[in-house]
Amino acid sequence: MTATPPHDEDRSNAVHTEPVEAIRAHEIGEPHEPCESSDPHGEWWIDGPIFSTEHRGSSITSLRPGAQPGRFTASMIARLSFTFFFWIGLAFLALPRIVVPIAAPAVEDLATHWGWWVIVVLAVVLMVVLGPTFGFTRRAMAQYGQLGLPAVVTAAVITTAFFIALLIHLAIDIDYIRHAPPTVEYWELPDTEILLIFLGVAAVGALGLLIALPFSIRFAVRTQRRIVAIRTTGTRYAGRLEHLDFRHSRISHLSQFSVRVGFETREGTRVVTAQMEADPERVPLEGEPLLVIVSTFRGRRGSRERILIEPDPDRPMRFNPDGGKYVVTADGGGG
């Protein structure tokens, strides 16, 4: 799958690059952990600016220059496993105080002890300091280049952890009810009906997220493979950011924008519209340089053009010093 190379008269507008060997999807190997970036724009594939002419929001996908499509690494699996067991413990500790009727007397007595509260507070402090996923989200963003997949994985793990914690409470309650002394009144028994309602909600949520997970992974990897193909076969042009429109929304730490990008071709000036996401402190100024890569793919319905927009490593861009106006507040407004 190759794109038509630029004509001689067009080479003044195209960015000259060394030829690279085409990479096929089945030749993609094991990805490496994110490393310290030598790019003049830092880790833009994580913190932005990231562009997409086909997707928006959490579906916008990036890929570190020179990297291969992402996979789960040992570090990610370890952090995700720790996150899973951490949330099982936190949910088990917190639920008796959030939903009082579900706890068996033995658990209820422990939940009123000061040591119980100390453990809960320490767990919350640990989560605030290290993050609710203990570094998994940023590493998943570096590997898969989007916010959607880490969100699905995190939600699936935490929801499943709550489900397991509820199951543990249910098992304890059933054991207590079976062996409760005859003097215990019915209204004094743990309310398993409420527990079953919470279990049902958690089960539906976890099942839905686990079903969506392989589709999210497939979408992210497929999009990254397209990025590899465009970088490999496409024609590169020196572009510029023509216009930027702040959408007053954000996903995770990235503010969302609609942009127009212009670049010169043999046929004349072209302007394409795209979506952009970036950390508020990394929003480029209008007129700043960009790299535009155009590639033509042959499919079942004929040829199709795909465009990739990225920061140009040979022409560092300037960021807007007034990044505060791109911070999305609680009411959805900007600074």
Q: Give how far the C-alpha of residue 113 lies from the chain's centroid of Cα atoms, to the nearest Å.
A: 39
d(CA 222, CA 104): 49
Mean predicted confidence (pLDDT) in 43-69: 90
pLDDT at 292: 95
Reported confidence tier of residue 227, pLDDT bands at 50, 70, 90: very high
Q: Give all strands of the β-sheet with 254-265 in edge-to-edge order.
A: 50-52, 268-278, 254-265, 235-251, 289-299, 302-310
CB neighbour list of residue 208: distance below 8 Å, 6 or more residues apart: none
Mean predicted confidence (pLDDT) in 102-130: 67
CB neighbour list of residue 1: distance below 8 Å, 6 or more residues apart: 22, 229, 233, 297, 298
Reported confidence tier of residue 15, pLDDT bands at 50, 70, 90: very low
Mean predicted confidence (pLDDT) in 248-267: 91
Tokens of 163: 């489900």
Reported confidence tier of residue 243, pLDDT bands at 50, 70, 90: very high
**pTM of the predicted structure, to 2 decimals:** 0.73
With b for 16 or more beta-carbon neighbours within 10 A and e for fewer, the 105-142 pattern comes to eebeeebeeeebeeebeebeeebeeeeebbbbbbbbbb
CB 181 within 8 A of CB 108: no
d(CA 70, CA 68): 6
CB 66 within 8 A of CB 37: no
pLDDT at 24: 32
- Whether the per-residue pLDDT at 28 is higher than 60: the answer is no
* Mean pLDDT, the chain, integer: 80
Helices (H), 99-146: 105-111, 114-130, 136-144
Mean predicted confidence (pLDDT) in 227-243: 93
With b for 16 or more beta-carbon neighbours within 10 A and e for fewer, the 197-234 pattern comes to ebbeebeebbeebeeebeebbebbbebbbbbbbbbbbb
Tokens of 33: 């952990």
